[in-house]
Amino acid sequence: MLSLHFKRALLDIRHNRLLNAVTITTIALSILIVSAAILFFINTTDMLEAWRRGIRIMVYLEDDLDPGRQQAIAARLKGLYGVQEARFISKQTALEHLRAQMPRQSAILEGIGQNPLPDAYEVQMIPSARTWEKAEDLAQRLEAIDGVADVEYGQRWVERFITLFNLFRLTSYAMGGLFFIASLFIVGNTVRLILYTRREEVEIMRLVGATERFILAPFYFQSMIQGILGGIAGLAALLIMFMLIQSKIQAVAVGGTVALRFLSPGLMMAIVAASALVGWLGCHLSLKQYLKA
Amino acid sequence: MIEPSAKAAIIRLFHVYRHYHAQNALDDLTLDIYRNEFLFITGPSGAGKTTLLKLLYRGETASEGQVLVDGINISRMARNRIHLLRRKFGIVFQDYKLIPTRTVYENVALVLEAAGRNARYVRKKTHSVLRTVGMENRMNALPPALSGGEQQRVAVARAVVGDPTIILADEPTGSLDAKSASLIMGLLKTFHTRGATVVVATHDRELIRSIPARIIYLNQGQITVAPTI
Ligand SMILES: Nc1ncnc2c1ncn2[C@@H]1O[C@H](COP(=O)(O)OP(=O)(O)OP(=O)(O)O)[C@@H](O)[C@H]1O
Ligand SMILES: [Mg+2]
């Protein structure tokens, strides 16, 4: 019985190729946009998490401190709660780092008579304190130490990023909702159109004793197939785009730390299932309306 | 009307009216159709023959009066039970009502599929019925590609494939030559012998004479005394 309806649905899809292609494309676009947003969230969350775990605070010292004060600062620094380790980076080491990082600009650096960089401590936090709030708190305490010129941990930048991230999240929820409704509408419309062209056939089926269920089942199958195909097409498009972007990034950041990941198989399955559900729902709403009329 | 065997009536109509706007297609019709009867309904065009048949399977509803099928008052039947009523009937429609986009085979098999019969039975039974009406070699044709007579034979095949209790045939030989017509009538007769109730609406006098049966003469929606047939 089920295979009968399924076959019927496939025949219907073949018979109304263009209409079905349009519907499937719309669903695919919706799925592409929604799953692109999901993919973005997953990777940015990963990135934020990596930053959080690797959070370091740079403590820059005032110029030309005598060794005694410097040692006192080191002792205060290491005594603060939340500090796991503090590594001294002298201005010479910093300059050498800079030279190594920018070999082409080394000529410019040679031109500088005096080393303009400050001495610094790189503070590593204990794992339980590696959150943005605790970093902020620690930074304030570090800043209060006499002889500390400046404290930096890229907090501003991260905060701004998180705000942007939340804004983007809201927008994509709204977009997702919009596309969800659009998909429902277009699936329902396809069903209505096909029903309209088939009204004679539907009437004949009723006359020979078919139940409403028997008559309508192929429509549900058809819409769910549309949902599944649309879902798969959308994900396939996303995968292609993902691979293009990834190869670009890989080319820029040679041996870099950027490791993007794609949606997990489970999540992809869930997305396709959700897409099938959208098909079912669009069909159901449309048929309910049709049967009432 | 005298009712010697009211208990044997499978269909009963009590003072049935069917109005279309100001016109009465059926006008105070009271009629019993008996179990395993072979009945002709005849009369001029527009007399109400098709309308009468439609009332029996709820293709139309009576404007007034009661229609009982198998003891059930179908005027009050819920919408979701109508398919059960329709499965009691095998209907040859005056305009055939074949699905133009489905093959001959699919049109006939549809009845059995809708009734939930298993695939093997559907295949076997459909083939056998199509063979009986002589359409098995046109099985994969679409109805629009068939002649009127061929379409009518397919319509008959579809009407009988589900082994219905009651067969309604509206001008079942209208587009057939004499040979095909007698084939169809022979088929209806066979199903009658096997226990079906058969109601044939026609104004073909030849046809009526070909089988001994009760004849109802309809004129302007009323049963009247038949003029000499
Ligand atoms: N849907 C309808 N709307 C309006 N009038 C209708 C409708 N159906 C039937 N009629 C009218 O009811 C009357 C009876 O029609 P019906 O089709 O029952 O006649 P009939 O005896 O089957 O005729 P024929 O021998 O030509 O098939 C006719 O006058 C017809 O015009
Ligand atoms: Mg008629």
Q: Which residues of B touch A210 (CB under 8 A)?
A: 83, 110, 114
For residue B51, how far is its CA from the centre of ligand 1 (angstroms)? 6
Tell me the average pLDDT across B10-32. Answer: 92
- pLDDT tens per residue, range A166-175: 888 888 888 8
Say if residue A82 is in the same domain as residue A193. no
Regarding the beta carbon of B58 and ligand 1, being less than 6 Å apart is answered no
Residue B161, token pair as written in the block:
């494939």
Say if residue A172 is in the same domain as residue A225. yes
Say if residue A248 is in the same domain as residue A269. yes
Say if residue A122 is in the same domain as residue A72. yes
Query: Is the predicted pLDDT of residue A188 greater than 80, yes or no?
Result: yes
Could you tell me where the DSSP H helices lie in A82-154? Answer: 91-101, 106-111, 132-143
Say if residue A178 is in the same domain as residue A83. no
Q: Which residues of A touch B80 (CB under 8 A)?
A: 211-212
How much is the pTM? Answer: 0.77
Say if residue A21 is in the same domain as residue A99. no
Chain B residue with CA closest to A200: the answer is: B99
- pLDDT tens per residue, range A76-89: 888 888 888 888 88
Say if residue A260 is in the same domain as residue A202. yes
Complex ipTM value: 0.91
Whether B114 and A205 lie within 8 Å, measured CB to CB: yes
Tell me the average pLDDT across B209-216. Answer: 90
Choose from A7, A199, A208, A213 for mutation: most chain B CBs within 10 A: A208
B40 CB burial (10 A radius; 0-12, 13-18, 19+): buried
**Confidence at residue A204, expressed as pLDDT on a 0 to 100 scale:** 96
Query: Is the predicted pLDDT of residue A205 greater than 90, yes or no?
Result: yes
Nearest to B86 among A4, A209, A214 (CB): A209
Ligand number with the minimum distance to the CA of B46: 1
**Confidence at residue B174, expressed as pLDDT on a 0 to 100 scale:** 80
- pLDDT tens per residue, range B172-198: 988 788 888 888 898 899 999 999 999
**Using CA atoms, how far apart are residues B32 and B8, in angstroms rounded to an integer?**
9
Whether A210 and B83 lie within 8 Å, measured CB to CB: yes
Domain count within chain A: 2
* Domain containing residue A106: CATH number: 3.30.70.3040
Say if residue A140 is in the same domain as residue A239. no
**Using CA atoms, how far apart are residues B21 and B25, in angstroms rounded to an integer?**
10
Q: Which element (helix H / strand E) includes A123?
A: strand A120-125
What is the extent of the structural domain holding A225? 2-51+158-292
Tell me the average pLDDT across A232-254. Answer: 86
- pLDDT tens per residue, range A100-114: 776 666 666 676 667
Tell me the average pLDDT across B3-13. Answer: 74
Whether B110 and A214 lie within 8 Å, measured CB to CB: no
B227 CB within 8 Å of a chain A CB: no
- pLDDT tens per residue, range B56-115: 999 999 999 999 999 999 988 998 899 999 999 999 998 999 999 999 999 999 999 999
- pLDDT tens per residue, range B128-170: 999 999 999 999 999 999 998 899 999 999 999 999 999 999 9
Say if residue A140 is in the same domain as residue A87. yes
**Confidence at residue B1, expressed as pLDDT on a 0 to 100 scale:** 47
> B173 to chain A, minimum CA–CA distance in Å?
20
Let me know: does A23 contact A219? Beta carbons within 8 Å.
no
Nearest to B59 among A4, A201, A207 (CB): A207
Whether B59 and A211 lie within 8 Å, measured CB to CB: no
pLDDT, averaged across chain B: 90
Domain boundary residue, one of A106, A134, A152 = A152
Say if residue A38 is in the same domain as residue A166. yes
Whether B114 and A214 lie within 8 Å, measured CB to CB: yes
**Using CA atoms, how far apart are residues A208 and A205, in angstroms rounded to an integer?**
5
Regarding the beta carbon of B107 and ligand 1, being less than 6 Å apart is answered no
Query: Is the predicted pLDDT of residue A240 greater than 90, yes or no?
Result: yes
> A193 to chain B, minimum CA–CA distance in Å?
16
- pLDDT tens per residue, range A275-285: 999 999 999 99
B158 CB within 8 Å of a chain A CB: yes
